[in-house]
């Protein structure tokens, strides 16, 4: 907001023991006279969060005297909403958790720490404005649902029920997907014991009767551009006709495909007509009854093998167990004289499915724990029986049914593979791969090289700089922070549900669709308001690009974890604001520091770094700058304060949105200003990464690994800059970590650049 | 209560929203032009300005370019100012760092992306251009026309469609959504609804949010910390004025129907007022202690306390036992803000609510009921939630797993699966999480004690999808033994150590194995019925809420209130519940 005329006021809180630990007169003197920064006024009160102090603050703001309130007191994590409601831009200087609770009271060092925190807050105020939201990009609040199976049908109906207009695209010529083939399904509602009717035909009828839902069968998505609130989507039908439409958000419910049966030859598949897959079993049951393919007779004795060879399938969906239990029940329901064996290594009958399992046992199904060693073409099975501890042979079987497992449809196998963006699928999509390796792929891998890991083309053919695919995590499933934030994908406004996200049953998929629809509608709401979605929900700031000094290095477009930035024909970055999650990774990536937010920028932090009063070399007071991830490391520091853990007085902290936003400029600024060391505290990287922006700390590590050369050129020791992975639960470790670094820096000696 | 205010707010918000929408539709042509054509033109202009040398771009041209791209005059000053500042900073860095060579250049050269850039550049540029061609020329004006027409049509329909989706429907008296229970499912449901634009009240019966998960040490299978996700959620709460949290509150009664429920809520006193900012001076004034509920009574806590380091809200709570003692006066005197208030009483008030989400969670199955496992007879037989506290740095032992009886280190530990679950005499269902929790506990012990031996007694290890890889990883540890057997009983040895007795399923061999610590993998039982059971909510024989089939209901469940779920599934169901609640309050009656 260019018309934002800054009227900063400083509010020094004396409560919570601050005035007992810090000489407030000296602190005030530093604010009003010691530092080149003009403020409307500097006030002191016993507290500003309540009582007269708060009244004064409100009065100052309401009277137009102050529009930037710099509040020096408790951590920004406390009294957040109370201060936000005052209506000014709030800047907090953390004196309580960070200073008086970690430092001895009344010392000169403690006072210096407090002064510096207030100075940094003032520099922050001087170099930031309240964020001006981007112009709304909302054009459509229509929802696109891709996939017409049980998940997609449910998603379409749920969205329509919430008032949305829906287009449902299905690649085959009919709705229903795999689930439509099943004659009976496992129970999702009580009674949990027996088979239940398939809900899919009912869902299809409901969708077809719903005026708010347009169904397009024989159609695939061939291009998706734009951004949340304004996805421009091209669909192409079997006749080759294109159609353009605009959507506010997209739900991807492309489901699964059965695991490649060629890999089941070791279990006899292909040797005998009566060795069939679970899908063939369903087809038999739905088309004239369960009969042998060889002679059309109903099987008297059948075995259901739950395949769980980790070399073939690294994950074992609980679904296979449920399917085997279901089909064994189907067999004995159809013919009470029939015998059904279920051979399993691990039987995963979770939750109330236990009743379904119990019912099967009561119906006479025999469950045998063991590993199948071989299946002969005469339908003889050799099982290493875990219970007996020896091999047993099963003969006289009429039919063998192999469960096949579910492979997520993260690609469309019916269309040609793209030669672009395969790194998004690399390692992860291959079911035989071990753990996923997210993190560094775009930094270290060429996007376009290599064979596609899994046949098939992109589901949405995203017209994104980072490629056409939706990035996947382990085993090809399109998820991200699957424990805490199960619907988070790395493509804002695009939410996945059903078996493309995680192997699941019909009942689970129907509920999963509801969650994805909620997130899709929420993202449209955010687009309307130009605000960020999770995890910085409500944030109105967005990165701005100063193109005059842009060198077109494309680092911002490549490193954005969410593919928010494209390139124009001239290779200049173009932001798609509603794709952006506001983490600042682009800002950290930019070598010429020309990317900034209204309230978070290279200049702002550089000025904060410079605002610290640097003791000269004769004072022998080292200073260490710590960039702390505000999601994990910063709260851990607060908690160390809450636990009153004492910490070295040489540390100065700057919270960062993500370690990915840390630019090398800040490191060099700090060293040239005379800081003796710099530490970056971020979240865990690697397979089980915890970064909320996917790979911020991985990128910081990568960038800092190269900072050594710069340091060497300045004749500074590499050890002065360090990256540490810190979790939020490290409150008892973090002060030790900092104190050790302080000792290390003291050992190295003072920065020769000190004045 | 909050309803009259919030409906006004909502009206105001809606008016603003529709204003915005109109603005957008009017400006559409401009916007698309900026999107497709002007950006290119601007970039070309900028390119022209830069041809002489990157950093030397004329600021006039650059400002024009920036101005064109943003299509917003107001931004010009900002941009110019910012650019000047950025340049100054960059120049400063250059001067100080590089000597002759540009600082930025030095940094750039050493950066990883730069290293990979040469290989990337030719291909990529080609691709980008091809793509651009396909979009703008190759696919011919037809595509462009079709696309523009689609955009225009969509924009034309926006206002009406948006009102349908986000607007308040008639016939619903209250659109406020009540979420009962502030554990992970309740917090998630409340946030998802509030961030979609609805007013939400979140009730929690304890003094802080987070419920069971805030007491966990780590989540399987990532072994990450629950407070990490909770912190993000608490930040979301702090930023969202639509969401109101009431702690120490329980539902007493529900009447009415969808769109117009009257919910009677009872709050118990915290004895500190909202002015409490967590400074802790009150706690410094007392010595008295009570069994610590946060640590399941494994240790003691002060009668005046912050329940744990990550407590949200960060406010102290006072145990009523000190009222009338000399300590009460000391506490009152110690608070500089006058935030201690012993006059607080239980309060009962009504809320007018449109839809209710029950996220009441679970309680661990009472292990005392499995008498043969001697849970009450030996301190070294604990349940799985207590194990989480023993391993937590903020727990009774500061994270060191020690024998509760004597504080000694552990060398031999047993995990007993299905302690209650899959047993028709206790919990007939599989609780789903206990296998994974025990695998996780085994890794806790192994991290702390490299030589410790762990035996896991199990019926089946139920490790689904991603968890199966976690299981495989744990199974590779030679110090962790899996014994297929449901132990018959646990006795206390002469030395006071627990002895697990039974028959191995595989070879029928009998065993009597003694341990330093036995962890009973107790199952999850729905907590819903314990305090208040809503009448018109269908529940199954185990007490889990059954989702309504169709239609007019306004009450839903989230998380373990609806079934034995892990955290991922709880969050999934909570997000679904938010949608159902929104559907309930936006539909006409």
Listed residues A99, A130, A161: the one ending a domain = A130
* CATH number corresponding to B269-344: 3.30.70
Residue A121 shares a structural domain with residue A148: no
Disruptive mutation site among A242, A407, A477, A546 for chain B (greatest number of B CBs within 10 Å): A546
Pick the more confident residue, B104 or A712.
A712
Instruction: Give the rounded distance of the alpha carbon of A601 from its chain centre.
Output: 24
| Yes or no, beta carbons of A349 and B462 under 8 Å apart | yes
Residue range A38-46: average pLDDT? 89
Residue A91 shares a structural domain with residue A186: no
Residue A309 shares a structural domain with residue A324: yes
| Closest-approach residue (CA) in chain B for A405 | B465
CA distance B445 to chain A (A): 18
Tokens linked to B433:
């999480």
Residue A379 shares a structural domain with residue A264: yes
A81 domain residue, yes or no: yes
Residue A385 shares a structural domain with residue A478: no
| Yes or no, beta carbons of B275 and A314 under 8 Å apart | no
| Domain boundary assignment for chain B | 2-165, 170-267+346-361+527-589, 269-344, 364-523
Tokens linked to B473:
């990883």
Cα distances from A351 to residues A192, A529, B218, B468, in angstroms, run 10, 41, 22, 17
Please name the residues between 428 and 467 in chain A that touch chain B, using a CB distance below 8 Å.
434-435, 443-448, 463, 465
Option in B46, B228, B506 nearest A728 (CB): B228
Disruptive mutation site among A75, A500, A548 for chain B (greatest number of B CBs within 10 Å): A548
| B243 phi, psi to nearest 5 deg | -105, 125
Residue A205 shares a structural domain with residue A270: no
A191 domain residue, yes or no: yes
Option in B166, B238, B464 nearest A348 (CB): B464
Host domain of residue A385: 260-404
Residue A397 shares a structural domain with residue A267: yes
Instruction: Give the rounded distance of the alpha carbon of A624 from its chain centre.
Output: 32
pTM of the model: 0.88
What does the alpha-carbon distance between residue A530 and residue A542 come to, in Å, rounded to a whole number? 9
Residue A109 shares a structural domain with residue A158: no
Percentage of chain A exceeding pLDDT 70: 93
| Yes or no, beta carbons of B575 and A515 under 8 Å apart | yes
Residue A97 shares a structural domain with residue A157: no
Is residue B337 within 8 Å of B160, Cβ to Cβ?
Answer: no
Contact residues for A586 (Cβ-Cβ < 8 A; gap 6+): A543, A556, A559, A560, A564, A565, A573, A595
pLDDT at A318: 81
Q: Which residues of B touch A348 (CB under 8 A)?
A: 460, 462-464
Class at the top of the CATH hierarchy for domain B364-523 = alpha beta
pLDDT tens digits, one per residue of A633-666: 999 999 999 999 999 999 999 999 999 999 999 9
pLDDT at A404: 86
Q: pLDDT averaged over chain A?
A: 90
Residue A286 shares a structural domain with residue A350: yes
Instruction: Residue A5: give its domain's CATH number.
Output: 3.40.50
Domain count, chain A: 4
Whether chain B has a CB inside 8 Å of the CB on A422: the answer is no
Low-confidence ranges of chain B (pLDDT < 70): 1-143, 168-170, 530-531, 535, 549-552, 587-589
Whether chain B has a CB inside 8 Å of the CB on A483: the answer is yes
Q: Which residues of B touch A665 (CB under 8 A)?
A: 89-90, 93, 107
Q: Which residues of B touch A15 (CB under 8 A)?
A: 277, 279, 336-337
Contact residues for B207 (Cβ-Cβ < 8 A; gap 6+): B247, B248, B270, B307, B311, B315, B317
Does a cis peptide bond (omega within 30 degrees of 0) precede residue A417?
A: no
pLDDT at A2: 54
Whether chain B has a CB inside 8 Å of the CB on A631: the answer is yes
What ipTM goes with this model? 0.94
pLDDT at B589: 36
The greatest distance separating any two alpha carbons of chain B, rounded to the nearest whole angstrom, comes to: 90
| Yes or no, beta carbons of A50 and B275 under 8 Å apart | yes
pLDDT at B159: 85
What does the alpha-carbon distance between residue B293 and residue A570 come to, in Å, rounded to a whole number? 63
Please name the residues between 564 and 583 in chain B that touch chain A, using a CB distance below 8 Å.
564-565, 567-568, 571-573, 575-576, 578-580, 582-583
| Yes or no, beta carbons of B466 and A315 under 8 Å apart | yes
Whether chain B has a CB inside 8 Å of the CB on A572: the answer is yes
Option in B429, B465, B573 nearest A317 (CB): B465
| Yes or no, beta carbons of B162 and A138 under 8 Å apart | yes
A393 domain residue, yes or no: yes
What does the alpha-carbon distance between residue A500 and residue A42 come to, in Å, rounded to a whole number? 57
| Closest-approach residue (CA) in chain B for A387 | B506
Is residue A562 within 8 Å of A695, Cβ to Cβ?
Answer: no
Res. A448: pLDDT tops 60: no
Disruptive mutation site among B57, B160, B232, B426 for chain A (greatest number of A CBs within 10 Å): B232
Residue A61 shares a structural domain with residue A121: yes
Tokens linked to A636:
């851990």
What does the alpha-carbon distance between residue B87 and residue B92 come to, in Å, rounded to a whole number? 8
**Closest CA relative to residue B581, chosen from B552, B545, B556:** B556
Class at the top of the CATH hierarchy for domain B170-267+346-361+527-589 = alpha beta
**Closest CA relative to residue A584, chosen from A627, A617, A614, A524:** A627
Pick the more confident residue, A561 or B90.
A561
| Closest-approach residue (CA) in chain A for B28 | A139
A684 domain residue, yes or no: no
pLDDT tens digits, one per residue of A345-379: 888 888 899 999 999 999 999 999 889 999 999 99
Listed residues A104, A130, A156: the one ending a domain = A130
How many Cβ atoms from other residues are within 10 Å of residue A95's Cβ?
Answer: 30
Classify residue A342 by burial, with Cβ atoms within 10 Å: 0-12, 13-18, 19+.
buried
3-state SS assignment for residue B281? helix
Residue A90 shares a structural domain with residue A169: no
Tokens linked to B523:
């199952």
| Yes or no, beta carbons of A688 and B69 under 8 Å apart | no
What does the alpha-carbon distance between residue A208 and residue A221 come to, in Å, rounded to a whole number? 20
Domains B269-344 and B364-523 belong to one CATH topology: no
Whether chain A has a CB inside 8 Å of the CB on B510: the answer is no
A734 domain residue, yes or no: no
DSSP for B483-524, please give it.
EE---SEEEE-TTS-EEEEEE-TTT--EEEEE-SEEEEEE-E
Please name the residues between 539 and 558 in chain B that touch chain A, using a CB distance below 8 Å.
540-542, 544, 546-547, 549
Crossing angle of helices B567-586 and B184-195, rounded to 10°: 40
Please name the residues between 392 and 421 in chain A that touch chain B, using a CB distance below 8 Å.
420
Whether chain B has a CB inside 8 Å of the CB on A534: the answer is yes
| Yes or no, beta carbons of B162 and A521 under 8 Å apart | no
| Yes or no, beta carbons of A316 and B59 under 8 Å apart | no
Whether chain A has a CB inside 8 Å of the CB on B168: the answer is no
| Yes or no, beta carbons of B460 and A348 under 8 Å apart | yes
Buried b (16+ CB within 10 A) or exposed e, A532-550: bbbbbbbbbbbbbbbbbbb
What does the alpha-carbon distance between residue B278 and residue A638 come to, in Å, rounded to a whole number? 12
pLDDT at B3: 43
Disruptive mutation site among A518, A578, A673 for chain B (greatest number of B CBs within 10 Å): A518
- Look up tokens 């910012």; give the residue: B82
A362 domain residue, yes or no: yes
Disruptive mutation site among B42, B82, B156, B484 for chain A (greatest number of A CBs within 10 Å): B82
A650 domain residue, yes or no: no
Using only the alpha carbons of chain A, give its radius of gyration. Answer: 31
Listed residues A95, A130, A165: the one ending a domain = A130
- Look up tokens 């023993």; give the residue: B390
How many Cβ atoms from other residues are within 10 Å of residue B15's Cβ?
Answer: 10
The C-alpha angle with vertex A93 and arms to A89 and A96, in degrees rounded to 5, equals 135
Crossing angle of helices B74-97 and A664-672, rounded to 10°: 50
A423 domain residue, yes or no: yes
| Yes or no, beta carbons of A51 and B337 under 8 Å apart | yes
Is residue B445 within 8 Å of B452, Cβ to Cβ?
Answer: yes
Please name the residues between 300 and 319 in chain A that touch chain B, using a CB distance below 8 Å.
308, 310, 314-318
Option in A162, A535, A558 nearest B165 (CB): A162
Instruction: Residue A312: give its domain's CATH number.
Output: 3.50.50.60
| Yes or no, beta carbons of B547 and A511 under 8 Å apart | yes
| A189 phi, psi to nearest 5 deg | -130, 160
Please name the residues between 86 and 115 in chain A that touch chain B, using a CB distance below 8 Å.
96
Please tell me the number of Cα atoms within 13 Å of B531 on its side-chain side. Answer: 19
**Closest CA relative to residue A258, chosen from A238, A274, A281, A224:** A281
**Closest CA relative to residue B353, chosen from B255, B496, B247:** B255
Option in A50, A350, A672 nearest B96 (CB): A672
Is residue A142 within 8 Å of A524, Cβ to Cβ?
Answer: no
Whether chain A has a CB inside 8 Å of the CB on B152: the answer is no
The DSSP bridge pattern shows strands A339-344 and A366-375 to be: parallel
Whether chain B has a CB inside 8 Å of the CB on A389: the answer is yes
> Which residues, in sequence order, are bridge partners of residue A42?
A10
Disruptive mutation site among A350, A604, A684 for chain B (greatest number of B CBs within 10 Å): A350
């Amino acid at each position: 907001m260019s018309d934002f005329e800054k009227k900063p006021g400083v509010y020094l809180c004396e409560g919570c023991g601050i005035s007992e630990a810090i000489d407030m007169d000296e602190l005030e003197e530093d604010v009003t006279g010691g530092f080149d920064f003009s403020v409307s006024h500097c006030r002191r009160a016993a507290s500003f969060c309540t009582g007269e102090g708060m009244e004064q603050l409100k009065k100052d703001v309401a009277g137009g005297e102050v529009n930037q309130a710099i509040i020096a007191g408790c951590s920004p994590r406390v009294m957040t909403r109370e201060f936000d409601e005052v209506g000014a831009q709030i800047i907090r200087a953390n004196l309580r958790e960070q200073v008086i609770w970690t430092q001895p009271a009344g010392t000169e060092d403690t006072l210096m720490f407090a002064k510096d925190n207030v100075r940094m807050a003032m520099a922050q105020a001087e170099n930031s404005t309240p964020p001006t939201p981007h112009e709304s990009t909302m054009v459509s609040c229509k929802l696109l649902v891709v996939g017409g199976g049980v998940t997609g049908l449910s998603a379409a109906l749920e969205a329509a029920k919430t008032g949305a207009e829906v287009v449902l695209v299905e690649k085959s010529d009919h709705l229903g997907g795999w689930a439509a083939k099943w004659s009976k399904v496992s129970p999702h509602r009580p009674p949990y014991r027996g088979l239940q009717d398939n809900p899919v035909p009912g869902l299809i009828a409901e969708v077809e009767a719903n005026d708010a839902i347009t169904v397009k069968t024989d159609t695939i998505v061939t291009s998706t551009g734009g951004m949340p609130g304004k996805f421009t989507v091209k669909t192409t039908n079997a006749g080759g006709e294109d159609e353009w439409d605009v959507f506010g958000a997209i739900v991807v419910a492309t489901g699964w495909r059965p695991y490649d049966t060629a890999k089941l030859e070791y279990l006899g598949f292909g040797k005998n007509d009566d060795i069939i897959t679970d899908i063939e079993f369903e087809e038999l049951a739905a088309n004239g009854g369960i009969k042998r393919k060889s002679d059309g007779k109903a099987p008297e004795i059948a075995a259901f093998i739950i395949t769980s060879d980790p070399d073939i399938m690294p994950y074992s969906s609980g679904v296979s167990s449920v399917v085997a239990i279901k089909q064994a029940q189907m067999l004995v329901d159809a013919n009470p004289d029939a015998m059904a064996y279920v051979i399993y290594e691990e039987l995963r009958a979770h939750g109330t499915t236990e009743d379904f399992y119990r019912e099967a046992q009561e119906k006479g199904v025999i469950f045998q724990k063991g590993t199948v060693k071989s299946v002969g073409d005469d339908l003889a099975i050799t099982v290493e029986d875990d219970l007996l501890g020896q091999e047993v042979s099963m003969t006289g079987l009429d039919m063998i049914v192999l469960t096949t497992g579910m492979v997520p449809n993260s690609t469309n196998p019916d269309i040609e593979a793209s030669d672009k963006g395969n790194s998004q699928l690399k390692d992860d999509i291959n079911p035989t791969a071990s753990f996923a390796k997210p993190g560094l792929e775009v930094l270290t891998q060429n996007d376009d090289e290599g064979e596609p890991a899994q046949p098939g083309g992109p589901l949405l053919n995203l017209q994104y700089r980072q490629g056409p695919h939706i990035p996947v995590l382990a085993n090809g499933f399109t998820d991200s922070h699957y424990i805490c934030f199960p619907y988070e994908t790395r493509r804002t406004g695009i939410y996945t549900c059903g078996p493309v996200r995680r192997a699941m049953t019909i009942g689970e998929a129907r509920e999963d669709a509801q969650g994805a629809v909620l997130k899709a509608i929420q993202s449209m709401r955010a687009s309307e308001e130009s605000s960020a979605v999770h995890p910085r929900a409500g944030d109105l700031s967005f990165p701005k690009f100063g193109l005059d000094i842009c060198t077109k290095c494309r680092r911002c477009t490549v490193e954005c974890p969410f593919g928010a930035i494209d390139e124009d024909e001239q290779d200049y970055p173009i932001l798609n604001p509603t794709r952006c999650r506001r983490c600042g990774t682009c800002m950290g990536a930019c070598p010429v520091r020309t990317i900034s937010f209204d309230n978070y920028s290279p200049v702002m932090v550089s000025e904060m770094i410079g605002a610290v009063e640097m003791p000269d070399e004769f004072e022998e007071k080292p200073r260490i700058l710590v960039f702390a991830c505000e999601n994990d490391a910063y709260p851990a520091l607060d908690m160390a304060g809450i636990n009153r853990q004492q910490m070295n007085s040489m540390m100065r902290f700057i919270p960062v949105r993500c370690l990915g936003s840390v630019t090398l400029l800040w490191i060099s600024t700090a060293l040239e200003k005379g800081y003796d060391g710099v530490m970056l505290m971020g979240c865990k990287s690697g397979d089980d990464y915890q970064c909320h922006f996917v790979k911020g700390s991985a990128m910081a590590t990568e960038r800092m690994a190269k900072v050594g050369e710069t340091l060497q050129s300045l004749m500074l020791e590499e050890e002065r800059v360090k990256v540490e992975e810190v979790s939020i639960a490290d409150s008892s470790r973090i002060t030790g970590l900092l104190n050790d670094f302080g000792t290390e820096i003291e050992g190295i000696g003072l920065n020769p650049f000190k004045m | 209560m909050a309803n009259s205010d919030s409906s006004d707010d909502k009206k105001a918000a809606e008016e603003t929203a529709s204003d915005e929408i109109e603005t957008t539709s009017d400006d559409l042509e401009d916007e698309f032009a900026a999107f497709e054509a002007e950006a290119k033109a601007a970039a070309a202009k900028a390119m022209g300005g830069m041809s002489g040398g990157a950093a030397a771009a004329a600021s006039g041209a650059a400002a024009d370019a920036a101005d064109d791209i943003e299509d917003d005059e107001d931004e010009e000053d900002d941009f110019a100012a910012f650019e000047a500042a950025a340049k100054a900073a960059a120049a400063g860095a250059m001067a100080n760092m590089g000597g002759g060579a540009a600082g930025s250049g030095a940094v750039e050269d050493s950066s990883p992306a730069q290293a990979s850039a040469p290989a990337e550049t030719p291909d990529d540029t080609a691709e980008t251009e091809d793509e651009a061609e396909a979009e703008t020329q190759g696919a011919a004006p037809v595509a462009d026309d079709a696309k523009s027409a689609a955009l225009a049509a969509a924009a034309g329909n926006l206002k009406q469609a948006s009102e349908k989706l986000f607007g308040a429907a008639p016939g619903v008296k209250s659109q406020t959504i009540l979420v009962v229970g502030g554990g992970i499912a309740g917090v998630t449901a409340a946030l998802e609804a509030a961030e979609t634009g609805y007013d939400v009240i979140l009730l929690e019966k304890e003094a802080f949010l987070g419920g069971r998960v805030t007491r966990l040490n780590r989540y399987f299978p990532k072994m990450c910390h629950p407070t990490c996700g909770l912190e993000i959620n608490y930040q979301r709460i702090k930023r969202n004025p639509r969401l109101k949290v009431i702690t120490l509150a329980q539902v007493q009664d529900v009447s009415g129907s969808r769109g117009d429920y009257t919910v009677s809520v009872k709050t118990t006193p915290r004895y500190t007022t909202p002015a409490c900012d967590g400074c802790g001076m009150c706690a410094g004034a007392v010595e008295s202690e009570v069994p610590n509920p946060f640590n399941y009574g494994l240790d003691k806590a002060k009668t005046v306390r912050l329940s744990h380091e990550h407590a949200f809200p960060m406010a102290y709570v006072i145990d009523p036992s000190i009222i009338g003692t000399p300590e009460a006066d000391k506490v009152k005197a110690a608070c500089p803000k006058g935030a201690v208030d012993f006059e607080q009483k239980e309060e009962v008030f009504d809320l007018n609510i449109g839809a209710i989400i029950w996220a009441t969670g679970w309680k661990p199955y009472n292990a005392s009921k499995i008498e043969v496992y001697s849970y009450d007879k030996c301190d070294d037989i604990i349940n799985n939630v207590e194990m989480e506290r023993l391993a937590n740095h903020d727990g009774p032992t500061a994270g060191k797993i020690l024998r509760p009886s004597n504080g000694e280190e552990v060398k031999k530990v047993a995990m007993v699966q299905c302690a209650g679950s899959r047993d028709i005499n206790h919990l007939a269902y599989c609780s789903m999480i206990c296998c994974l929790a025990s695998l996780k506990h085994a890794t806790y012990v192994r991290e702390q004690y490299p030589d410790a031996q762990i035996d896991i007694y199990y019926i089946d290890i139920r490790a689904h999808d991603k968890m199966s890889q976690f299981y495989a990883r744990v199974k590779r540890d030679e110090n962790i033994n899996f014994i297929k057997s449901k132990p018959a009983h646990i006795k206390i040895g002469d030395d006071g150590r627990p002895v697990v007795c039974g028959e191995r399923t595989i070879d029928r061999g009998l065993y009597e194995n003694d341990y330093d610590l036995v962890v009973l993998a107790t199952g999850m039982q729905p907590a819903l019925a314990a305090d208040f059971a809503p009448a018109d909510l269908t529940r199954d024989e185990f007490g889990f809420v059954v989702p309504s089939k169709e239609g007019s209901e306004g009450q839903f469940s989230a998380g373990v209130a609806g079934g034995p779920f892990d955290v991922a599934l709880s969050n999934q169901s909570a997000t679904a519940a938010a949608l159902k609640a929104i559907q309930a309050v936006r539909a006409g009656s």
